[in-house]
Each structure stands twice: as C-alpha cells, then as structure tokens.
Amino acid sequence: MNSRLVCLMLALAAFSCRQPEITESALDMANLDRTVAPGDDFYQYATGGWQAAHPLKPEYSRYGSFNVLSDDNEKRLKQLFESLGSASPVPGSEAQKIDDLYRMGLDSARLAAEGAEPLKKGLAEIGSITDSRSLAEVVARMHSYSVFPFFGGYVGADMTDSDRNVLYISQSGLGMGDRDYYTDTANAGIKDAYRQYLSRIFALTGAENPDSAATDALEVEDALARISWSSVELRDVKRSYNPMSAKDLKSTYPNFDYGAWFRELEINEPDKIIVGQPSYMAALDSLFAATGTDKLKRYMEAQYISEYSTLLGDDFYDAHFDFFQKKMAGVKEQQPRWKRALGTASDLLPEAVGKLYVQAYFPQESKDAMLRMISNIRAALAEHIDSLTWMTDSTKMVAKEKLEAIVVKVGYPDKWKDYSTLIINPTLSYMENVRNICAWNMADNLSRLEKPVDRTEWLMSPQTVNAYYNPTTNEICFPAAILQPPFFNPAADDAVNYGAIGVVISHEMTHGFDDQGRHFDKNGNMTDWWKKEDEETFRKMTDVLVAQFDSVYVLPGLRANGALCLGENIADQGGLRVAYTALQNSFGGVRPADIDGFTPEQRFYLSYANIWAMNITDEEKARLTKLDVHSLGENRVNVTLRNLQTFFDAFGIVEGDPMFRPEEERVVIW
C-alpha cells in the first residue's frame, strides 16, 4: 500500500450492550485444523481447514478471505453491468459510460484486429522528441495519461497546511516497481526475464531492433533504480517533505524543462511544490544531461507500451501476464476477460459504479450498526491512551483530542463525483478511451491546485473491499463492500464482529498514532505534538517490533521486512488490543455463553485469524516482501498475537509452547 493515506465527531450516546439476535454460528468450524494445537501454530490451527478447502485458484497469486468477498462483489457487479446493456442506457449518462467501456473491454475480436494501432499516436509523440522542451512536453502528456516515466506529480493536501492543496513531485518510473529488482543480484533471473518482456512488447509494435530497444530502456531503468530511495526510506514522511517554489525547482534541476512541463499540463507555476526525494531529483537531473535522447526515448516507449499492454489484443496481454503475473507472482492462469473488463470500468469510473453498487447492495442498517461499533471502539482507544504508562500526560491529552476529532466515513460518499464532462466514445479504441479517462482524472486532480481541500472526498470506491486512514484529513473510511461476512455479519455474535470488522476499525484508528500518523495533529497538519521523551520511548518500542518481524523467514533465505511493515504492524497490534477492550465493554457485565464450545475471547481471536486465511505462491511472498507495507497474513496473526497476554489466556498458552513469548520480550504500544 501504497499507498496517500486517508469520519463525524465522537458519538456521545453509549453503545448498546444488548446482544443482537444471533441467527447463525458465524464461525465455520471446518476452517479449523484440529490436528495442530493453538499454542503450536495458531494460524494453522485457526485457518488450516480453510486453506485445505480453498486450494489456490490458478488465476490468483494469493487467495484469501478478501478475495472470496471480492469474487462475490465481482459477480454482483457483473449482474449490474449486464443489466445496463439490456436497459439501453440514456446517451451521455453514467450508465452509458460504464456500459460502453465494459463492452469495449469484452470485444476480443476488435482488440485483436486493432493490434498495436492504438499505441501509434503516443509512440509518434515520443519519437518526435528532439530537445529538452519537447522531452518535457511529452513527459507531461504521458503523466496526464497515468504513465509516469522519471518522476510523478499529483495534487493533494499540504501536509503542513492541510486545508490547502499543493503539488507533490516524487520519484517514479521503475517498471518492476522496486529498486531491489534492479540492484540486488539475487534478482538477476527476474531482471533478465524483464528484459525479454520488453523486447517482446517492442517486437509487437513493429520496432526494428526490439532487443536493442529493450537493452536501452533497461539501462535507463537501472540508472533510475540506483538513485531511487528504498521502500523503507519512502515511509519517512518528514524526510519526504521538501517545499520549494516552481522558480527554485527550475533553477535547482535545470536539465529538465519544468517550465514546459507546467505549460503542457496547464498548471500555473505554484509558489509551493513539495519535492519528495531531493537526492533522487538531483541525480535525475544529472542523468538527463548524461544520457542520449534516443536512449531516453526507448525508455519512455517501453513505459508507455507496458502501461497500456493490458488494454490491447491477446498478444500484448499475454506478454504482460507472462512476466508480471506468471514470472513475478506465480499466477498460473489468466483471469476471464469479463473480470478484467469489469475491473477496468470499476477502477476508472469508481463512484459511478459505486452509486449502482450501493443502491443495490448496501442497507442503511449496516451503516447504522457500523457507526455504533465505531463509537464504542473510539471510547476503548481513549481508555487505552489513558492507561499508557510510557506516555506523558500532556501528550495523552493531545492524543485524545486527535482521537475525538477523527472523522468517520462509512459505506459511500455523501456527495458523488460528477462525470458529466467525461466522454466515452465507442468509435475510439478501448485503449484510447482509457487514456482519455486518465487524462480527465488528471485534469480534475490538477484543477484543485492551491484550492481548499475537499474533505468530503473519498479515496476509495464503495465497491472496494478495504479500508483506510488519511492523516491529512484525520479520517477513517470503510467502503460498503467490506461490510459483509467474514468482516461484518449482523447475524453474528459480538465476539466474531469485534474480532473481524472491529479490529479493522481500531486498526485504522490506530494508524493515526503509528510511526507515520503520529506526526499529524487533529487537523491533519504535520507537526511535533509529542514530548521528546515520548518520541524516544516510542522508537525504542517500535525497534523491538521491527526486530520481531525481521527474525521471521517468509521463505528460505528471505526474512520479513519489519521496518517496511512497521506502520501496519503497529496498527494490527493496536487494533487487536483496542477491539478486545471494546468487546469486553460491550458485555455490560453480562458475559455471553460459549458458542460451538468456544468462549467469546477465543471466538474473537479465531475471527481475527480467519480474515487473514490465505493460500499464496512463493513468488508472491517474495514480491510482497519487497513491495508491500503489510506483513503476510500468517505473520499478521502469529507474530502479532505473541505479544498479547489476553491471547495466551484465551487458549491456555504457556511457557514452552511455540506461540508463547516471554513477557520481557513482548512489546505493547497502544
């Protein structure tokens, strides 16, 4: 996740302690592997039955509870999309735009007939580059099409003045996503396969010497990788905040014509720009001066072709799949075309599709129940802050002010995005329409520069199975699609719901106080509101957490990256602890009876483990360990739980059991 991070004042009414009517067991006992003791390997004990019953589908590199829910959502969306076509949508309506885009994605015969033709305009633009100005102009156009060679730019809330939008510029342009794929000799096989992939897609466009073009392109990517910040370095929000004016940008990095870049994107040169990685931008400037134009053009062509290869005929799609999915992630089989077309429409028209989804599938009762649970969890987190022994009282007071100010977004936006000016033209190719949508979205983003931040905006669509915290707006957001079993089940007992969606809620709240979120105040401004001694103690505890995950092997010879995943690991542990307290508070002094032979506390932890049930390829484990700020599901369960005494108590885990961790080796932050 990568991810710009992203709720109503604290509800004063107390959460009802009355248990809902339980109409189903909610936890499937078949998910357990009773051949394993919970104290030996809790993840296997809680999810081993699920893993055996859900072998990895060949179209996936990983398949878990999130994927099951996403599969169900895709089937729902497919029904909605197919009903649009049969209803003959009104021209110019959102329904027409969704329907046309979806059907173009399904038209394999047309895609095959068009071949590389849709790429020709963009490739001709790159081919026309002769000097610094034309280079900058073409780079700007590529950026508007969501292709980001060399660097990227977007408009977002100023981290030190969160009510105003500012332009951010940061490193970009690595086709394989992370610098280690280029710089680490252990990845030489993948890098060579990438070179072959580039040669293959160049050949499909009719390039005269595809091998030479691929070599030139990869040489530029190698140079970019050597100057790129690591994934861990990119998590340092304070180090990544480097303001300068447009005038200073142009004078500091003179070998790229930023003036032409601004003009092409129709941006008035701003007085304040945030440069994410100054050392990268300086080295990039030297690279522009030292690298021939033809070699830069080959790199830009490779970026362009690769970015749009999934929107062309099967020969292009196959090349992209064979490298990025099969080689890098271990996927055996392509997804059916309807899923790919549906995903494109949903991603590019998120709120138009979301409006349909919410109307059909999201009941108001689910939203109301979530708001009540969020209120209860917020109160529990306040209790935890009060009880901290490592934080000073003055910092606690400000922390609770921030907690009370967290804004809650549940289900769907109160204000939907207006797509009336966006045109989907079926006479153009599928790729061209997607490119035009990307340009519309980029223009919409850039139009906000130096304007007030719209705090009603959502950064996820309602049909997304996920959730987020955004530090610059101090908000938590839970899209409609995640508010379903196994995450949220109105018919389940509280223990199951608090172990699943309850942990998700408190996880997102805790992000406001993790190693990144803690730098932002209640209004979303990056400021130092912690006392120095609190910061020092916090770092000592987080160092322990980093070391716990660093000690775990995800594959032979490959350890987990505790520093990369630190924020998520803090939020996982905090989420579990706070949701557990909220569950206990919900009992109101009347402890529920056991269900299926398990206590409420056991069901809480079983429910948590079940949301991370997953089968995954070794290739995907390796890829995610390099790129993902989230730990693998097994470690989100086993490593995190080994710090929690309430978990040991629930399952009778004692010293000598593999899951047990001595108290002096544990770390408890929130």
Q: Which CATH superfamily is domain 117-311 in?
A: Neutral endopeptidase , domain2 (1.10.1380.10)
The kind and range of the H/E element at 476 are strand 475-479
Asked if 135 and 374 touch (Cβ cutoff 8 Å), the reply is no
Give mean pLDDT, residues 402-419.
96
Beta-strand (E) ranges in 463-573? 468-470, 475-479, 553-555, 558-559
Residue 308, token pair as written in the block: 């749009």
Hey, which residues are catalytic here?
Answer: 508, 572
User: What is the pLDDT averaged over residues 555-580?
Assistant: 96
Query: Residue 23 has what pLDDT?
Result: 41
Sheet-wide strand order for 407-411 = 407-411, 475-479, 468-470
The torsion defined by the Cα of 620, 621, 626 and 628, in degrees rounded to 10, comes to 80
From the centroid of its chain, how far is CA 372? 26
Which pTM was predicted? 0.91
d(CA 549, CA 561): 7
- Please give the pLDDT value at position 25: 67
SS (H, E, C) 371-383: HHHHHHHHHHHHH
According to DSSP, residue 629 is labeled S
Nearest alpha-carbon partner for 61 in 624, 628, 629, 620:
620
Q: Which of 648, 623, 628 is nearest to 638 (CA)?
A: 648
DSSP 166: E
For residue 602, is pLDDT > 70? yes
Distance between CA atoms of 583 and 24, rounded to whole angstroms?
19
**If pLDDT is split at 50, 70 and 90, which confidence band does 85 have?**
confident
Average pLDDT, the chain: 94
Q: Cβ contacts of residue 535 below 8 Å, gap of 6+? A: none
Buried-exposed string 395-429: b where 16+ CB fall within 10 A, e elsewhere: bbeebbebbebbbbbbbbbeeebebeebebeeeeb
**How high is the pLDDT of residue 24?**
52
pLDDT of residue 12: 21
- Which ranges constitute the DSSP H helices of 3-64? 42-53
pLDDT in tens, 443-496: 999 999 999 999 999 999 999 999 999 999 999 999 999 999 999 998 899 999
Write the pLDDT tens digit of every residue in 505-553. Answer: 999 999 999 999 999 999 999 999 999 999 999 999 999 999 999 999 9
Q: How does pLDDT run across 14-54, given as a tens digit for each residue? A: 222 333 444 456 899 999 999 999 999 999 999 999 999 99
Give yes or no for a contact between 165 and 172, defined as CB atoms under 8 angstroms apart: no
The 3-state DSSP class for residue 260 equals helix
Query: Distance (Å, rounded) from C-alpha 650 to C-alpha 466?
Result: 28
Domain 39-75+363-415+456-665: homologous superfamily in CATH: Collagenase (Catalytic Domain) (3.40.390.10)
Residue 88 is predicted with a pLDDT of 83
Answer yes or no: is pLDDT of 77 > 50. Answer: yes
| pLDDT for 506 | 97
What number is the average pLDDT over the span 637-646?
98
Residue 335's alpha-carbon distances to 57, 68, 72, 197, 639, in angstroms, are: 10, 15, 15, 20, 33
pLDDT tops 70 at residue 6? no
**Is 604 within 8 Å of 622 (Cβ atoms)?**
no
Query: Could you report the per-residue pLDDT of 294-352, keeping only the tens digit for each?
Result: 999 999 999 999 999 999 999 999 999 999 999 999 999 999 999 999 999 999 999 99
Percentage helix, strand, coil for the chain under 3-state DSSP, each rounded to 5: 55, 10, 35
Contacts of 571 (CB under 8 A, 6+ apart): 507, 508, 510, 511, 514
Report domain extents, the chain: 39-75+363-415+456-665, 117-311
Asked, as a colleague might, if the bond just before 58 is cis with ω within 30 of 0, I would say no
Mean pLDDT confidence for 243-254: 97
Lowest mean pLDDT among 4-13, 173-182, 253-262: 4-13
pLDDT at 359 over 70: yes
Fold agreement between 39-75+363-415+456-665 and 117-311: no
Query: What pLDDT, in 10s, does the model give residues 167-204?
Result: 999 999 999 999 999 999 999 999 999 999 999 999 99
Please list, in sequence order, all residues whose beta carbon lies within 8 angstroms of the beta carbon of residue 562, skipping any fewer than 6 positions away.
Answer: 545, 546, 547, 548, 549, 550, 569
pLDDT tens-digit profile of 613-632? 999 999 999 999 999 999 99
Q: Which of 10-19, 350-359, 412-421, 516-525 has the lowest mean pLDDT?
A: 10-19
**pLDDT of 610 over the 60 cut:** yes
